[in-house]
Amino acid sequence: MQNSPFLEQFPNFSGPLASYRGSKMAANLPAGDGSATSAGAVRLWDWSWRARLAASGADARKWLNGMISANVRDLRGGEAVPAFWLNPKGRVQAMLDVAMLPAAEGDRFLLLTDESLRQPVYDGLKKFIFISKVDWRDQSESHTSLALAGESAAQLLGKAGLPAPEQPGRIMVAPKPGGAAAAGAGSHLDGHLDSHLDSHPGSRPDNQEVDDAVYVLRQMTPGTPVWEILAPVERARELYRQFVRLGALAEGSEQQEQRRVLDGVPRCGVDVSDSDLPQETGSMQAVSFYKGCYVGQEIVERIRARGQVHRLLVRLALDAAVEPGFKIWSGDTEAGQITSVTAAADGVRALGYIRREFLDADLRIAASSSTPNPARGRVIGPVQNVLPEGGAPPAAAPAGGQKA
């Protein structure tokens, strides 16, 4: 478990630390430390839980396209997509974001996932490189992420001299201090990446090359607009301090988790486990049916041909607090299970799996069917997708295009 590099921003902080998604960080920042107190404020989030893996080389695109569920084959510089890493039985091993760096020389990709999943993903994919010309690196110790969330976050990025991609799934490179305008300012495909590779004393192994550029990725999640800033650790610390000076309000892991559940964003290891199928999660923007073969594809395509799965991850509104793991009941019949819960302004919101035949039913949520005074609830909708479902290329699915 690594400590967040942003903890030093709060030398007087004496509150609890939380282990969140593989990183140890402040659980809840008090008002004096810049915590969010205004409903319209720009939130500043410690995203040190984001692991950063990098793939490049002549065979990187083909190799990566065969490893994960997203369409890497047609990905262009400056674009990003969500993806699953599946096992051969089609079960989810990890959830990822995959970005092709803008205007880079050759194909250069970043894979972003939870720090708690870093080693399994790195080791698991490395086993399949074989003789492919792929440079596969773990940059998680030399780099980190922070995020700005809220409708006014784009303006705050501009004040800090950083680009703010307008569309979800776009990544742009920031200008170097004192340099030219941000590459891709007019288009996510324009501009030239003027960065160099250098060694970093905190990298692993010692001679690992490190990209010193700062990137801004518009996240592909529903609800609150979120921009992720990816940077070398020291530069990220500087940006964190700058955003606080510009008025961003820092939040701890508890506020991040609350917003995640309110926005209905699934979390791997909590809402999605290694026994779940992609179609059950509802996150079909992470699966492409146009890219050809990949690990686990046969099972995914078989389910697609069958038409549906028997249960779905959904968003629920409840009238009382419950615990993750509580069962969902319709009458005396077990209909599903709660995976995440948080308080909302008008009650309680949750994520959970429910069998299709109970999507419109009146529900009870309790540890058992005989629990007195159970919470009452209803399904308010499925997990939402921001990008096209089925993994169509960014412009549109090709007419009569190749299917898996």
Confidence class of residue 397 from pLDDT cuts 50, 70 and 90?
Answer: very low
More confident residue, 298 or 204: 298
Angle made by CA atoms 230, 236, 238, in degrees to the nearest 5: 150
DSSP, res 286: G
Give the residue-averaged pLDDT of 240-258. 95
Q: How many domains does the chain have?
A: 2
Residue 259 and residue 323 in one domain: no
Residue 239 and residue 368 in one domain: no
- Which tokens belong to 261? 């559940």
pLDDT, position 97: 98
Give the residue-averaged pLDDT of 226-251. 96
CATH code for position 353: 2.40.30.110
Helices (H), 272-314: 278-281, 297-306
Q: Is the pLDDT of residue 403 over 50?
A: no
Residue 23 and residue 116 in one domain: yes
CATH code for position 206: 3.30.1360.120
What confidence tens digit (pLDDT) does each residue in 103-162 have?
767 899 999 999 999 999 999 999 999 988 999 999 999 999 999 999 999 999 999 999
What confidence tens digit (pLDDT) does each residue in 76-88 have?
999 999 999 999 9
DSSP, res 33: G
Q: What percent of the chain has pLDDT over 70?
A: 86
- Which tokens belong to 2? 């690594």
283: in domain: yes
404: in domain: no
DSSP, res 113: E
Give the residue-averaged pLDDT of 55-81. 96
pLDDT, position 369: 79
Domain that holds residue 281: 14-309
Residue 90 and residue 33 in one domain: yes
Cβ–Cβ under 8 Å, residues 275 and 91: yes
Confidence class of residue 392 from pLDDT cuts 50, 70 and 90?
Answer: low
Confidence class of residue 178 from pLDDT cuts 50, 70 and 90?
Answer: low
Could you give the CA distance from residue 365 to residue 10 in angstroms, rounded to a whole number? Answer: 40
Q: Which range has the worst mean pLDDT, 107-111, 196-200, 267-271, 372-376?
A: 196-200
Residue 303 and residue 340 in one domain: no
124: in domain: yes
Give the residue-averaged pLDDT of 284-288. 95
Cβ–Cβ under 8 Å, residues 88 and 76: no
- Which tokens belong to 285? 């923007």
Q: Is the pLDDT of residue 181 over 50?
A: no
394: in domain: no
Q: What share of the chain is helix, strand, coil (3-state, %, to 5)?
A: 20, 30, 50
The per-residue pLDDT of the chain, averaged, comes to: 87
Residue 339 and residue 250 in one domain: no
pLDDT, position 15: 83
- Which tokens belong to 254? 């508890």
Burial of 37 (0-12, 13-18, 19+ CB in 10 A): exposed
393: in domain: no
More confident residue, 186 or 353: 353
397: in domain: no
More confident residue, 136 or 390: 136
Residue 261 and residue 326 in one domain: no
248: in domain: yes
Measure Cα distances from 25 to 94, 105, 262 in Å: 22, 36, 21
> How big is the chain, counted in residues?
404
Q: What residues does 122 pair with on adjacent strands?
A: none
CA atoms within 13 A of residue 11's CA, in its CB half-sphere: 1
Tell me how far the alpha carbon of residue 219 is from its chain's centroid.
Answer: 7
Q: Is the pLDDT of residue 315 over 50?
A: yes
Residue 97 and residue 245 in one domain: yes
Q: Is the pLDDT of residue 183 over 90?
A: no
Residue 220 and residue 369 in one domain: no
Burial of 274 (0-12, 13-18, 19+ CB in 10 A): middle
pLDDT, position 179: 54
Q: Is the pLDDT of residue 354 over 80?
A: yes
Measure Cα distances from 29 to 4, 84, 146, 255 in Å: 14, 33, 16, 9
pTM for the whole thing?
A: 0.88
Q: Which of 102, 125, 135, 121 is nearest to 208 (CA)?
A: 135
Residue 151 and residue 76 in one domain: yes
5: in domain: no
User: Which residue carries 């970043």 as its tokens?
Assistant: 110
Cβ–Cβ under 8 Å, residues 333 and 327: no
Mark which of 252, 278, 309 sits at the end of a domain: 309
Confidence class of residue 388 from pLDDT cuts 50, 70 and 90?
Answer: confident
pLDDT, position 182: 40
Give the residue-averaged pLDDT of 157-186. 79
What confidence tens digit (pLDDT) does each residue in 4-46 have?
999 988 877 778 899 999 999 999 986 544 444 455 789 999 9
Q: How many CB atoms lie within 10 A of CB 205?
A: 7
Angle made by CA atoms 200, 203, 204, in degrees to the nearest 5: 145
Could you give the CA distance from residue 190 to residue 184 in angstroms, rounded to a whole number? Answer: 4
Residue 354 and residue 325 in one domain: yes
Mark which of 309, 334, 363 sits at the end of a domain: 309
Could you give the CA distance from residue 171 to residue 184 in angstroms, rounded to a whole number? Answer: 9
* CA dihedral of residues 14, 20, 23, 27 (deg, nearest 10): -10
Residue 127 and residue 263 in one domain: yes
Could you give the CA distance from residue 141 to residue 125 in angstroms, rounded to a whole number? Answer: 19
Could you give the CA distance from residue 173 to residue 184 in angstroms, rounded to a whole number? Answer: 7
pLDDT, position 138: 97
Q: First-to-last CA distance in the chain?
A: 39
